[in-house]
Amino acid sequence: MRPPPNSSSFKREFLKKWLLALQLCNHNNNINKNDVVKRKNTIKLSAEIAMASVRNGATCWSRALIAKHSSSFHVTTKPRHMPPPPPRHYKKRVRCKKIIKRSRRCCHNRSAAAAVVRRKTAVLRKLVPGGELMDDEASLIRETLDYVMSLRAQVDVMRRLARASDCVAMCNIV
Amino acid sequence: MSSRRPASRATSSTMSEDEIITDLVLKLQALLPHLNPRQQPSRAQASKVLKETCSYIRKLEKEVDDLSGRLSQLLGTIDPNNQDFDLDSIRSLLQI
């Protein structure tokens, strides 16, 4: 059962998977301890993968993130829910959507306000992983809500870890 | 949305983050057609909510980036492959 993104169990699950992903990244990349930039990228990448993995394929954004990063490290165990293959008619659908968009632009009844909403929606599609594959706005908004809540949980756990590490570092100085 | 006081926007910097997110979630939910079949938000309201959402996502992603940088310096000496790495004690340390 997948925890909702604003729950404590989501954060616990995220922490567990994040540490596991960090171990996997470290194992595969054999990072030099002095390479801060690479370490930062590893931390960020593993956090992103962990956040997506907790959703366990339930959302389009999580599947898109996992698919994006699947080449970053070799996973020895297959995930329970494989991300679905991209739709075969994706290119045709994009072409059809472009034709529809063009014909809509020609329709002079569309107000400027509608055009602004479309533009903002297009920006949102680019920000939410997998957003450009979503057909209707309702799905996009649902995915956005889920993605935002998951991001917040991720940020919360990372902040706590940074704060705790700060304290440990200060204790070591004293 | 129209009943919301304009002053609440002006003081958004003093709102707690929980209040900001509750506000945003309510607004995003209001955009969902099946939740508000009778009261569709105006296009101007929708466009404002979408813009706020995009800003908020960018802000969160930037924060993830900054925290990753901070953690990369703080955790420099820790080896997560060390068997002493105890998940339970880390969880209790972070109060999660």
Q: Are A30 and B79 in contact (CB under 8 A)?
A: no
> For the residues A28-52, what does the mean pLDDT come to?
82
> How many helices (H) does chain B have, and how many strands (E)?
4, 0
Residue of chain B nearest A118, judged by CA positions: B47
Quick check: B28 and A145 CB within 8 A? yes
Q: What is the pLDDT of residue A53?
A: 93
Is the CB of B73 less than 8 angstroms away from the CB of A124? no
- What sign does the CA torsion over A103, A108, A111, A115 have? positive
pLDDT at residue B7 in the model: 44
Q: How many CB atoms lie within 10 A of CB A2?
A: 14
Q: How confident is the model over A61-101, as pLDDT tens digits?
A: 999 999 988 876 554 444 445 555 555 555 555 666 776 66
CB contact under 8 A, B43 and A113: yes
Over residues B28-86, the pLDDT tens digits come to 777 665 555 566 667 777 888 888 889 989 999 999 999 999 998 887 666 656 655 67
Q: How many angstroms separate the Cα of B74 from the Cα of each of A35, A36, A122, A168, B70?
A: 13, 10, 38, 9, 6
Q: Are A15 and B87 in contact (CB under 8 A)?
A: yes
pLDDT digits (tens, 9 = 90+) for A100-142: 666 666 555 457 888 888 899 999 999 999 999 887 888 888 8
Residue of A nearest to B57 (CA): A148
Reported ipTM exceeds the 0.95 cut? no
Q: Which residue of B has its CA nearest to A165?
A: B74
Chain B: nearest CA to A30, how far in angstroms?
11
- Summarised one tens digit per residue, pLDDT across range A137-154 is 888 888 999 999 899 999
CA distance A164 to chain B (A): 7
Structural domain boundaries in chain A: 1-77+124-174
In single-letter form, the type of residue at position A65 comes to L
Question: Is residue A1 scored above 90 in pLDDT?
Answer: no
